[in-house]
Amino acid sequence: MGQLIFAALFFFGFISPLWADCRASLDNYRAKQKLRTENPIGYQKRIKSDGEKLQQCRQQSWLKSQGIWLRLYPGDALPGVMDQVLDRIVDLGYSHVFVEVFYDGRVLLPVSQNQSPWRSVTAEAVKEGKLPADTDLWQMAVTKGRERGLKVYGWLFTLNFGYGYGENADRVSVLARNGRGETSISNSKIDRELAKNGNSFYLPLTETEHLFIDPYHPQAQQDARQIVRQFLSAKPDGMVFDYIRFPNTKPTMNDRVENLWIYGEASRQALMKTAKTSAARQELQNYLDGSENNPQLWQQATDHAYNGVLQFARAITSPIPPTMPIGTVFFPGGNRRAGQKLDSRMQPWDRFPPSWQRHPMTYGLCLDGKCVAQEVEQVLTQSSPQTLVCPVLAGIWSQPFNGHAPLEVQMAEIRRRTPQITCLSHFVYGWIEPESDRERKFLIPPPSFN
């Protein structure tokens, strides 16, 4: 198999300029791939040596940890492909890689070991005979990453269980509902016939195709805990949780109880139990069913929604060893308040345990990077000094991208305004290395819907 095409610019040698990229030369990457095909023993020595050089560079830099977010494809299981990707990540100066292991209703588990209600990412490739059923992309990523000195974290969706989860007839009661009886995909415009049988995974998805669950439902907690345990068997360096919130709906700032996602069976029962007397229960029942405005009950209802997110987070992270880093991924504005109005995402990131890492998606659109640094400052002011804050930046190196400043511009502004930040990451590998991402995606082509 030929080497994958890589497009990013390189600097020569492991260096530490202002934005602390610690990148290696393109010649270094080419020499390494030549060794991979011609001298396997020399290749193993080289990747170990390059990993050590990167660690030394990071130790000397103001930026001790630089991560990148990565989606794997079935084709990454083919000989040499994942090696090339991870070599590229090291040569680009990244010390951490966040691998998607649960997203869009799929899990990065071997088909032969997947007892969860979600399909495996490799399901179709296995069915077509292109990969064996025991193909374990996640274990491969952890093992090969560690050979290169990379820290490998699992990256999971949390309350967003994926469109395909709704196809399980025995999970209907698990779904989050608002006061109109709607689920988060009730207003989806997706072709439901085309999306069935797990095919939604291969279709363009928006927020209205993200299926959120009732965080109070024990079945939801059990399903999520089960896959967390399985992902832990690969012995990663940490786990980070995304979509740890409710849907982003209109109005974006909400003050109406019927718009809250607390009307699922388990959530409503749990809320009613908070009422101490029969009169209080009746008053709360009337309020939920459309009674007039009541600031006290509004506070009770919104606290219940926030607590659902927090309880679910605690429940599904319970299998994680106390020594393993846990992180949360969130938008800084997800916990906004304006009088009685609250951000519809109901994301209480400021209430997560201070021992958990915070990975705020600071995606501000400005070409000087100032708006991004302001978002970082906002998170720091709401975080304990003991909490590790690692901003997630969107964009690419050396040039603007979809309204985002070049990564080095954003990083320089963060360093100038918040020098206490020593950890950040870049979203996403597919943007920074688009040719690599496209080629890998079609090494084992996804199903056709013609």
- Give the pLDDT of residue 406: 97
For residue 251, pLDDT over 90 is answered with yes
Mean pLDDT of all residues in 41-65: 97
Using an 8 Å Cβ cutoff, are 312 and 158 in contact? yes
pLDDT band at 1; cut points 50, 70, 90: very low
Using an 8 Å Cβ cutoff, are 213 and 313 in contact? no
Predicted confidence (pLDDT) per residue in 84-141, tens digit = 999 999 999 999 999 999 999 999 999 999 999 999 999 999 999 999 999 999 999 9
% of the chain with per-residue pLDDT over 70: 95
Burial of 312 (0-12, 13-18, 19+ CB in 10 A): buried
- Give the pLDDT of residue 12: 29
Question: Pairing mode, if any, of strands 106-107 and 96-103?
Answer: antiparallel
Mean pLDDT of all residues in 234-256: 97
For residue 449, pLDDT over 80 is answered with no
For residue 72, pLDDT over 50 is answered with yes
pTM for the whole thing?
A: 0.95
- Give the pLDDT of residue 413: 98
pLDDT band at 17; cut points 50, 70, 90: very low
- Give the pLDDT of residue 23: 94
For residue 3, pLDDT over 90 is answered with no
Token representation of residue 1: 């198999």
Predicted confidence (pLDDT) per residue in 378-430, tens digit = 999 999 999 999 999 999 999 999 999 999 999 999 999 999 999 999 999 99
* Helices 81-91, 434-441: inter-axial angle, 10-degree rounding: 170
- Give the pLDDT of residue 292: 81
Q: Single out the residue of 97, 79, 90 nearest to residue 36, CA to CA.
A: 79
CB atoms within 10 A of CB 79: 8
Mean pLDDT (the chain, rounded): 94
Predicted confidence (pLDDT) per residue in 271-298, tens digit = 999 999 999 999 999 999 987 889 999 9
For residue 7, pLDDT over 70 is answered with no
Predicted confidence (pLDDT) per residue in 161-218, tens digit = 999 999 999 999 999 999 999 999 999 999 999 999 999 999 999 999 999 999 999 9
Using an 8 Å Cβ cutoff, are 437 and 77 in contact? no
Predicted confidence (pLDDT) per residue in 305-351, tens digit = 999 999 999 999 999 999 999 999 999 999 999 999 999 999 999 99
- Give the pLDDT of residue 290: 87
For residue 15, pLDDT over 60 is answered with no
b/e map 45-59, b = 16+ CB within 10 Å: ebbeebbebbeebbe
For residue 8, pLDDT over 70 is answered with no
- Give the pLDDT of residue 18: 40
Three-state SS sequence of the chain: CCCCCCCCCCCCCCCCCCCCCCCCCHHHHHHHHHHHHHCHHHHHHHHHHHHHHHHHHHHHCCCCEEEEEECCCHHHHCCCHHHHHHHHHHHCCCCEEEEEEEECCEECCCHHHCCCCCEECCHHHHHCCCCCCCCCHHHHHHHHHHHCCCEEEEEEECCECCHHHHHCHHHHHHECCCCCCCCCCCCCCCCHHHHCCCHHHHCCCCHHHCCEECCCCHHHHHHHHHHHHHHHCCCCCEEEEECCCCCCCCCCEECCHHHCCCCCHHHHHHHHCCCCCHHHHHHHHHHHCCCCCCHHHHHHHHHHHHHHHHHHHHHHHCCCCCCCCEEEEECHHHHCEECCEEECCCCCHHHCCCCCEEEEECCCCCCCCHHHHHHHHHHHHCCCCCCCECCEEECCCCCCECCECCHHHHHHHHHHHCCCCCEEEEECHHHHCHHHHHHHHCCCCCCCCC
